[in-house]
């Protein structure tokens, strides 16, 4: 099967759509498919393509970092369709025409669009696939709270909807939002679940659990941005220290983003700067070792459609503290793989419980270390195949 993925962004980051699209595409290649990724993200300075002119002559002259076709280490053909005019944003003023030209050259069996709340290039891909009468699958990697009406309008304007495309989301809770955003004849539409995948064996804990030294060491891996509520992490730490004592709990944050200075100020304001360790971006391959030095993973995000970083930490053996009603509940059950809280005060209470309640953290960690999650790539590939079959059935003639 020839599969074309369309994603606004495709760049090395911690977690996110980019990582999952890249991993899914690479595993599909390993399963015997021909896989292409179209993205509006430019390559790093100095990057160039190995196929100047691109597939069917659609690439940029010289194969520069804005318009190039390269092959990734996983065998995926990566087509960069970026613009010099948009200051690095993952959008192209002529995206629809350029995607349509690339689809004509590739003639894929299915087009798989990966969407967030605001995904202009991905939505152009959906429109181009619909205009070319190609089977179309669209996976939402976000929660659609508050944006359902404009998305319905945009889908009508771009000529795709739940009746002509196979819509899916990365978790049950995210799929519920998509179903209400794209109703069919007034009722919630059919939305599949295509979860994020993981190489479970690669994340399995390799050694013994960290010895208890009287300090509860928390870790979070996320983009340091307002939407991820990183300052709430600092407030959670401060609230727990008020109960447990100043030396009883520490927090490490792996990630970078626009809120770093604000997080530092919040830590200083609350008097916990000595216990907050901002690590910056940590390479994904170094995260298992980071998790081995900590006792629990904390995620304060409310609009978490899945939570791949939380899944990686849970697979590494860490108890996960997160909010109920997010995609993290796909793989964390309260008091089994972690603790789920209803609100921010509940996050503080959960951290206090892990520190104070005898045997609780050890019991959850032992379960997570012994029982791997159901997140194998074989299951994800099977789910993708089901979505592609549904996309073919929905193709209007």
pLDDT tens for residues 322-334?
999 999 999 999 9
Q: Token pair of 200, please?
A: 């479970």
Q: Are residues 151 and 38 in contact, defined by beta-carbon separation less than 8 angstroms? A: no
pLDDT of residue 56: 38
Residue corresponding to tokens 């099967």: 1
Quick: pLDDT tens for 183-201: 765 556 789 999 999 999 9
Would you put residue 45 in left (φ > 0), alpha (ψ -120 to 50) or beta?
beta
Q: How many helices (H) and strands (E) does the chain have?
A: 13, 14
pLDDT score recorded for residue 99: 95
- Kindly report the pTM of this predicted structure: 0.86
Model pLDDT, residue 17? 77
- Give the contacts of 301 (CB within 8 A, at least 6 positions apart): 222, 227, 228, 229, 307, 322, 323, 326
Tokens read off for 217: 């060491």
pLDDT of the residue at 14:
43
The pLDDT score that the predictor gives to residue 63 is 59
Residue 330 to residue 209: CA distance in whole angstroms? 24
Q: How many residues does the chain have?
A: 397
Contact 234, 251 (CB under 8 A): yes
- Low-confidence residues of the chain, pLDDT below 50? 12-14, 51-62
Radius of gyration of the chain (CA): 22
User: Are 89 and 119 within 8 A, CB to CB?
Assistant: no
Are 156 and 135 in contact, with CB atoms under 8 Å apart? Answer: no
Instruction: Name the one residue in this structure whose structure tokens are 């997570």.
Output: 368
For the chain, domains (ranges, CATH) are: 2-197+376-394 (3.40.50.2000), 200-370 (3.40.50.2000)
With residue 97 as reference, give the H or E element that holds it: helix 95-106
Please give the pLDDT value at position 184. 66
Percent of the chain with pLDDT over 90: 67
How far apart CA 91 and CA 68 sit, in angstroms, is: 16
Residue-level pLDDT at 207: 83
Give the pLDDT of residue 395. Answer: 83
CA atoms within 13 A of residue 159's CA, in its CB half-sphere: 13
């Amino acid at each position: 099967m020839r599969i074309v993925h369309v994603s606004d962004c495709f760049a090395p980051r911690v977690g996110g759509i980019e990582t999952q699209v890249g991993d899914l595409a690479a595993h599909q290649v390993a399963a015997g498919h021909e896989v292409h990724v179209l993205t509006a993200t430019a390559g790093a300075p100095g990057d160039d393509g190995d196929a100047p002119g691109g597939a069917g002559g659609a690439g940029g002259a010289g194969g520069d970092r804005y318009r190039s076709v390269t092959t990734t280490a996983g065998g995926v053909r990566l087509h960069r369709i970026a613009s010099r005019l948009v200051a690095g944003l993952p959008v192209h003023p002529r995206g629809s025409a350029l995607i349509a030209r690339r689809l004509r050259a590739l003639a894929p069996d299915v087009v798989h669009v990966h969407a967030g709340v605001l995904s202009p290039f991905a939505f152009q891909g959906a429109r181009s696939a619909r205009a070319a009468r190609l089977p179309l699958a669209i996976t939402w990697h976000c929660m659609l709270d508050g944006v359902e009406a404009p998305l319905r309008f945009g889908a009508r304007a771009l000529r795709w909807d739940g009746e002509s495309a196979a819509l899916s989301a990365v978790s049950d809770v995210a799929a519920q939002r998509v179903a209400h955003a794209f109703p069919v004849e007034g009722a919630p539409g059919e939305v599949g679940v295509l979860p994020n995948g993981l190489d479970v064996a690669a994340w399995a804990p390799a050694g013994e659990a960290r010895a208890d030294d009287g300090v509860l060491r928390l870790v979070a891996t996320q983009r340091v941005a307002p939407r991820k509520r990183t300052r709430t992490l600092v407030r959670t730490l401060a609230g727990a220290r008020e109960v447990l004592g100043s030396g009883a709990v520490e927090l490490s944050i792996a990630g970078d983003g626009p809120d770093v200075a604000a997080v530092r100020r919040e830590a200083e304001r609350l008097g916990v700067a000595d216990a907050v360790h901002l690590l910056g971006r940590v390479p994904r391959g170094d995260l298992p070792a980071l998790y081995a030095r900590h006792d629990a993973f904390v995620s304060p995000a409310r609009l978490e459609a899945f939570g791949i970083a939380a899944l990686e930490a849970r697979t590494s053996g860490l108890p996960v503290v997160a909010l109920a009603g997010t995609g993290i509940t796909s793989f964390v059950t309260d008091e089994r793989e972690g603790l789920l809280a209803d609100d921010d005060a509940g996050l503080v209470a959960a951290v206090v419980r892990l520190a104070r309640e005898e045997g609780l953290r050890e019991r959850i960690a032992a379960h997570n270390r012994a029982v791997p999650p159901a997140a194998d790539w074989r299951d994800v590939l099977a789910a993708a195949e089901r979505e592609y079959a549904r996309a073919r059935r929905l193709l209007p003639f």
